[in-house]
Amino acid sequence: MKKRILFIIPSLAAGGAEKSLLNLLRELDYSRYDADLMLFRREGLFLSDVPEAVNILDAGEEYLYFDGSIGGCLLYCLKKIKPLLGLKRILYALSLRKKESVNKRRTVWKYLSSVLPETELNYDFAVGYLEGNSIYYCVEKVRASKKAGYIHSDYSKLLLNPEFDREFLLKLDFIMTVSEACAESLVNVFPYLLEKIKVVENIISSSEIKRLSTLGPGFPETAKGIKMLTVGRISPEKGIDLALEACELLTRRGIDFIWAVVGGGSEAEPIAEKAKSKSLEARFILLGEQKNPYGYLAQCDIYVQPSRYEGKSIAVEEAKLAAKPVVVTRYSTVNDQIEDSVSGLIAEMNPQSIAEKILVLIENPSLMNKLSRNLTESSANYISGAENLYELIED
C-alpha cells in the first residue's frame, strides 16, 4: 500500500525553497507515494507546474482575507457578517507591532493559526517545507506518523526567535536542512536537537535546466560585451544593492558588459530608481520574476551571486550545473558550494571586491575556461534524487 505524504508551504511564489519543492514533486516516485500539497495561498509563479499526480489543498477564503490587508479583511467581515474574524484581524495587526519576544510570536501565531484549517487525513509523513509558519502548521494542524521541518538557510541569519521555535522543533521527528554548514548552524543554536538534524540537499534537475534553456527568453541579440546574470529576490539579503554598486565600478573602468537580474521583491523599485539615477538602467537590467530564467543562464558568460547570506543557493547550484564561471560573496555557507579558484571565485561582501573578481575573470579567459571545465567534470558526477528523503520516510 502506498504511503501518503503531505508537503506544506505558504505558496509557490518564486524562491529557492519553492523551486526545490517543485523539483522534488517532479522526481517523487508516485508508484510508492501519494502526495498532497498544502498551500496557505493557492498562488505563485510555479503553481501551474505542479505535477498532476499531486493533490493541492489550500487554507480557504477566510485565510486569504485574513492574511491580506486589514482593510480588505474588515470589509470582507462586514459583507459576510463575521465579527469574530474581524476582531481577530485587528488583534493580529496589533500583535505584529509589539516588540520582539516569545510572547509576541505566540500571540501572532495564535491568531494566524486560528484561520488555518486542520488537515482531514492521517499522513504517513508530513513536512513543513519552509522555516516558520509551515513548520508551526505541520506540528499543530497535521495528523501524521512522522513529521519533519525543512530549514533552507543559515538559521543564525534568519529573523526567527529560537526560544519560540524550540517549542515546535522539539515535537518534530526530523529537522531537515540543505547543507552541512546549515546543519552546523542549527546545532550551534539547538545542540540538544543534534540527533534530529538531517542534511537533505535541494533537488536540482540538470536535464530540466537544459530543456528549459531552449524554451525561455534570453539576452537581446543587440547585447554587446560580457553577459552577466544574477537570480534572486531583490531584497537586502540577496545583495542586489552591492551588485549595482559593483556595476557602477565596472562601468567606470570602461568594461563593456550587460548585467541581467532575474527576480522581484521589496527593493525592486528603489534599485531600479537608483540604477536610473546612475544612468545604468541600460546596463543593469531588472527583468522581474521569470518562471524560466534558463535562457539567460545558458547565454551568460559569468554568473554572480552577491548575497549577504544563503543556505545552499539553488541559483548557484544551477549555474554550476550549466558550467558557468561563478562569482559569489563570502556568505557563511559559501564553502559548501564553491571552492575558490576551482569552481568559482569568492569575493568579500562589498562592491569593490565583487567588481574586482568579475574583472579578474573578464581579463583572464583562460581562468574562465578552467572554471567551466572543472564544473563540467564535476557536474558529470552530479546525482540528483529524492533518495535521502525516502530514507527519512521509510526509517
What digits encode the pLDDT tens for the residues 290-346?
Answer: 989 999 999 999 999 999 999 899 999 999 999 999 999 999 999 999 999 999 999
**Mean pLDDT in residue range 103-132:** 97
Give me the phi and psi of 110, to 5 degrees please.
Answer: -60, -45
Distance from C-alpha of 31 to C-alpha of 324, rounded to nearest angstrom: 36
CB 98 within 8 A of CB 104: yes
Looking at residue 301, the DSSP 8-state letter turns out to be S
Residue 22 in grid coordinates: 517543485
Would the pLDDT of 42 be above 90?
A: yes
How many alpha carbons fall within 13 Å on the CB side of residue 229?
28
**Mean pLDDT in residue range 22-46:** 94
What pLDDT is attached to residue 379? Answer: 73
Distance from C-alpha of 73 to C-alpha of 210, rounded to nearest angstrom: 44
**Mean pLDDT in residue range 107-112:** 97
Cα–Cα distances (Å) from 372 to 75, 326, 336, 361, 369, in that order, read: 56, 9, 18, 11, 5
State the architecture of 206-379 in CATH terms.
Answer: 3-Layer(aba) Sandwich (3.40)
Res. 220 pLDDT band, cuts 50 70 90:
confident
What pLDDT is attached to residue 16? Answer: 87
Would the pLDDT of 381 be above 80?
A: no
Q: Which candidate, 344, 358, 353, places its Cα nearest to that of 257? A: 358
Residues of the chain with CATH 3.40.50.2000: 3-205+386-394, 206-379
CATH code given to domain 3-205+386-394:
3.40.50.2000
**Mean pLDDT in residue range 107-133:** 97
Res. 284 pLDDT band, cuts 50 70 90:
very high
